[in-house]
Structure 1
């Protein structure tokens, strides 16, 4: 059997991480695949492993803008997959496929197109239009796909409420996390053991954008600092221009004169583990996720976590965190305060979340993915 993978729209972020990790940990021959063919731009292909069973194929159109990659997908990919590489199945992890290849399995990775309340947090017309277009293209893709892989029950439920997908067309295969984040929970200390020179360091890793609510977390931490709590917050991640002003308003306020909250910008993925290991606690305030890989990284790093109660977060973290409404500063403030004041609580939730994180490995994700794709072909 030959498996084709359409990675024409995968260039960075979680999509690239997923593709790289499942191929790195893959043993496709075990599941009946003699060859795997991946189409993408040269930059993406260079980040993928080199294996005798893996063919990495590019094209001049794939090395231009997304519109050219889309044209390649629509007009060329299906013919090449059928006639040149004799693919038995096409796997589309990017979620959108407008080609003609019939036997196709796709993935749901982006919830924003299916959660109107969330994409309306973006004020620009361009952003809203993009999510509407994605809703249309992904809906078409899901409807014509032979099978759909979801990452969480939550994602499956939300998409099903919109498209009414048959149960037998779906499965759930969660993402994994990198072993570089693995660190057993430390013994927790009383909040009185911390001070201004050795504060309790909170960390929040995520792109600064409309549905991540970093400004609310910053405001909550500044409120705690004003009350005398020896706490700081480091924000790590890229930033969108649309959200820059919201965050800078808080960062430049008089309450932050002592640099209690620090925006550190984008950090290379390979360096992220050190930021987790140097933190005392983690905050995750996203209101829209398909599967929160960053949350799993924090769980794997053994940190006590204060977490958003939106989306799939309670499904992933369970009873191993302290929850809040990410849209309300006071809710975030109360949750972090509870965590700071209760050493035993921090110890309990960090140990629980660490144990839960062991279930999320890239090896398991890779094996389950190739096993499922093989079963789809055999069923056909």
Structure 2
């Protein structure tokens, strides 16, 4: 009989990858097979509106989730446990581990690696962002230690987080999924037939300090100085400080705005086609829990030049060329490998496409809900054993 009622705290999910993950694992038709009766999710209105309606899904809008970080944390600590119990939920799934809610049992999911990367945090300087990440670090560290079990998106993330939290007793690794539309979208860009035609490069990611968009601009300028006609499109809005760095570099490298185009946020449904129409996908992030944009490019099957930092080599494996995202020469050399070797370029693109086939939202959802069900069953069994002693 399906009788388990699951609560999801999604109040702290703010990134595109976190939103995609939540929608992906909830976009299933039936939950009875997991032993579930209902799933309740607490979050802010915009995110709740993005989640598909299901007969077994109950959405809770808490006005505190629209307010300051401290207000959100206070609500999690004081009101959310009561609301979970009143809804009849028996287990809490913290969808990004950014919770101070102390409902037991709880499964925490790691969605943010920034608090665990000192090198990247230095890029924020003494700023509001740095302070916010410090608070998030303290909250997540406490949540992981309290949680009955924890889910990580990569083995890299599991190892890195536990370096700070200490060894966690019950953990698993469940990779992201990728939308079927990316797998069904085929590359459309022909490779330029002569050097006069531009090679199109695309980088899809929010413009933030640790995404190193301004270093990529320097690398593209370096390649143009070497005689390669490249154009770069950067897709994604960003923070003011990172935008200042980027705009300053564009003025230095491309003052006439001939080869760098910066687009603000683009609807996600347009991304597959934009990837398909590029010759080379560049991903220069210095810190990623998984790298969902990278996976989307892999699924389309375009040549990829990627950062060698954080979890990205675990995701891309042998499906691309790598570079140091802080070094414009390293980025330029990696892209030049793809330009100069068409056989390798096509092989890597196909290898990335093949690797992406093992990632899907149905698989991610099944593994996630199966694990949560197993955690609850073991928790219930352990508690029953304690009571008989």
TM range (shorter): over 0.9
- CA separation of 1:364 and 1:227: change in aligned 2, threshold 3 A: same
1:240 aligned partner = 239
Q: 2-side partners of 1:74 and 1:173: how far apart?
A: 28
Q: Gapped runs of 5+ residues in structure 2?
A: 380-389
- Give the deviation of 1:184 after TM superposition: 6.5
- Give the deviation of 1:268 after TM superposition: 1.5
2:385 aligned partner = none
Q: 2-side partners of 1:328 and 1:284: how far apart?
A: 13
2:51 aligned partner = 48
The correspondence of residues 104-123 of structure 1 with structure 2, limited to 5 A, is 104-123=106-125
User: Retained in 1: the 8 A contact 2:189–2:276?
Assistant: no
Q: 2-side partners of 1:59 and 1:123: how far apart?
A: 33
Q: 1-side partners of 2:280 and 2:5: how far apart?
A: 46
- CA separation of 1:219 and 1:41: change in aligned 2, threshold 3 A: same
- Give the deviation of 1:162 after TM superposition: 1.4
- CA separation of 1:254 and 1:319: change in aligned 2, threshold 3 A: closer
Q: Does residue 1:270 correspond to 2:269, yes or no?
A: yes
1:39 aligned partner = 42
CA displacement 1:75-124 (0-9 Å, x = unmatched): 11111212x12211000012122123121001111111011111111124
Q: 2-side partners of 1:117 and 1:103: how far apart?
A: 34
User: Retained in 1: the 8 A contact 2:153–2:173?
Assistant: yes
- CA separation of 1:363 and 1:240: change in aligned 2, threshold 3 A: same
Question: Secondary structure of 2:322's match?
Answer: strand
1:176 aligned partner = 177
Q: 1-side partners of 2:130 and 2:188: how far apart?
A: 45
Q: Which range moved further: 363-372 or 8-17?
A: 8-17
Q: 1-side partners of 2:304 and 2:37: how far apart?
A: 43
- Give the deviation of 1:64 after TM superposition: 3.6
Question: Secondary structure of 1:266's match?
Answer: coil
- CA separation of 1:60 and 1:314: change in aligned 2, threshold 3 A: closer
User: Retained in 1: the 8 A contact 2:254–2:260?
Assistant: no
Q: Which range moved further: 348-357 or 99-108?
A: 99-108
- CA separation of 1:157 and 1:12: change in aligned 2, threshold 3 A: closer
Give TM-score, length-normalised by structure 2.
0.92
1:318 aligned partner = 317
Give TM-score, length-normalised by structure 1.
0.94
- Give the deviation of 1:68 after TM superposition: 3.0
Q: 2-side partners of 1:210 and 1:135: how far apart?
A: 18
CA displacement 1:152-195 (0-9 Å, x = unmatched): 000011111112223x410001111112222566599766x144
Q: Which range moved further: 366-375 or 90-99?
A: 90-99
Q: 2-side partners of 1:295 and 1:220: how far apart?
A: 19
Q: 1-side partners of 2:29 and 2:165: how far apart?
A: 32
- Give the deviation of 1:11 after TM superposition: 4.5
2:101 aligned partner = 99
1:149 aligned partner = 151
Q: 2-side partners of 1:54 and 1:265: how far apart?
A: 33
Question: Secondary structure of 1:257's match?
Answer: coil
User: Retained in 1: the 8 A contact 2:106–2:149?
Assistant: yes
2:367 aligned partner = 368
Q: 1-side partners of 2:315 and 2:64: how far apart?
A: 39
- CA separation of 1:185 and 1:42: change in aligned 2, threshold 3 A: closer
User: Retained in 1: the 8 A contact 2:202–2:234?
Assistant: yes
1:27 aligned partner = 30
Q: 2-side partners of 1:175 and 1:302: how far apart?
A: 18
Question: Secondary structure of 1:253's match?
Answer: helix
The number of residue pairs the alignment matches comes to 376
CA displacement 1:122-147 (0-9 Å, x = unmatched): 12422211111111110000000000
Question: Secondary structure of 1:49's match?
Answer: coil
Q: Does residue 1:57 correspond to 2:56, yes or no?
A: no
Q: 1-side partners of 2:14 and 2:323: how far apart?
A: 33
2:335 aligned partner = 336
Q: Which of structure 1's runs of 4+ aligned residues deviate more than 6 A?
A: 187-190
Q: 2-side partners of 1:184 and 1:102: how far apart?
A: 43
- Give the deviation of 1:60 after TM superposition: 3.3
Q: Gapped runs of 5+ residues in structure 1?
A: none
